[in-house]
Amino acid sequence: MTLGEFLSDRTERLLLQGTAAAGAAFFLLLTGTLPGVVALLSIIIFLLFGAVQIWDFIRSRARLEELEGIFDRLDRKYLFAECVPKAQTSYERKLLDFYRRAGQAMTSAVSDAQAAQKEYKEYVESWVHEIKAPITAAGLICQNADYRTRQKLSPELAQIEDHVERVLFYARAESPERDFLIQQADLWEITAGAIGRHKTLLIQKGIQVETKDLEKTVYTDKKWADFILGQLLQNAARYVSENQNPVVAISAKEKGKRVQLTVSDNGIGIPAHELPRVFAKGFTGSNGRNRGGSTGMGLYLCHRLAKRLEIDLQIASEEGRGTRVTLTFPAKGNLTNL
């Protein structure tokens, strides 16, 4: 707090006190008090009044600095009112009491919200596991149907399964500690799993998948890494170019102690001005709007899960030429979640 701010807060009080002092001096002059005596008294009163204001300013500033120091040292800022030393005035005591009660109400509301969110998350996870059974059953029925029916239904069932899986991973991304295990994994096994799960979609779109140098060991959560690769394959299938044979190339190389996985396609690409926003939640872009069916959640989840896995995820694209996504897996010694 500056001296200007202090004086600004007390403008009305200062004007009132100055008016009272001037009135007292005028009264003394009217009653016959010598002007010199009145002037001397006015100077003494002014000096005393100024000293009191300076002392009040120094005390107030010291108190604010003390409170600011306590606030800065707190990891949980919302506990500030509970950690403030004993109030110095009745006004401050009442004010801090209001802050404490407000803090307790907020903590209670946050606790209720967290409990409700946890309940909802558990319900969503339960629902996802339950819905997988009829999806699997429908898939088995579809396999026994005639070719035309199977050709029509298989892609739709695959999309339903992908959407359900996305919901599950979105719920898990909020609190990954219960479903999060980083361990040594085979990169080829993860890639093969992701390709296998999206085989129907890739075949339907006529996409040729090329793999190279995937015999690498990485440190990650297999299930989460499989999901990220699956989302990238879905995007490649969704945004294929109609002017050339669609190809998805997946390759890996060692970069020091880390492993870099690249997934590239020759699809329609992403406009340059949209690239900075592709990881934003719900962003569909012009391609998503033109082709429909985009939720804007795929790359958002990829980026979020990659961050949890300590994977550096970078994307580059050229409109009309294709997109390249690079996943750099961390070295074992650099992991904080292992």
Q: Determine phi and psi for 84, rounding to 5 degrees.
A: -70, 135
**pLDDT given for residue 334 in this prediction:** 64
First CA to last CA distance, the chain: 47
Nearest to 228 by CA among 317, 336, 310: 310
The answer to whether 310 and 336 have CB atoms below 8 angstroms apart is yes
User: Residue 261 to residues 52, 145, 232, 243: CA-CA distances in angstroms?
Assistant: 71, 39, 12, 27
Q: What pLDDT score was predicted for residue 192?
A: 93
Asked if 326 and 232 touch (Cβ cutoff 8 Å), the reply is no
Please name the fold of domain 182-334: Heat Shock Protein 90 (3.30.565)
Alpha carbon separation from 275 to 232, 279, 304, 306, 322 (Å, rounded): 15, 8, 16, 18, 13
pLDDT at position 49: 83
- Say if pTM beats, i.e. exceeds, 0.85: no
| Residue 160 in tokens | 């339903």
Per-residue pLDDT tens, the chain, 338 aa: give them.
677 777 777 778 878 878 888 888 887 778 877 888 778 888 888 888 888 888 888 888 887 888 788 778 877 776 777 777 777 778 777 887 887 888 778 778 888 887 887 787 777 777 877 887 888 888 788 878 887 887 778 777 877 887 888 887 777 776 655 667 788 999 999 999 999 988 888 888 889 999 999 999 999 989 899 999 999 998 888 888 877 789 999 999 998 889 999 999 998 888 888 888 988 887 877 877 776 666 778 888 889 889 888 899 999 998 888 899 999 999 876 666 54
The domain limits of the chain are: 182-334
Q: Which amino acid is it at 56?
A: D
Buried b (16+ CB within 10 A) or exposed e, 37-72: ebeeeeeeeeeeeeeebeeebeeeeeeeeebeeeee
Angle between helices 147-174 and 222-238 (to 10 degrees): 130
pLDDT at 290: 73
235 vs 149: CA distance, rounded Å: 25
Confirm if 280 and 300 have CB atoms less than 8 A apart: yes
Beta strand 247-255 with 258-265: parallel, antiparallel or unpaired? antiparallel
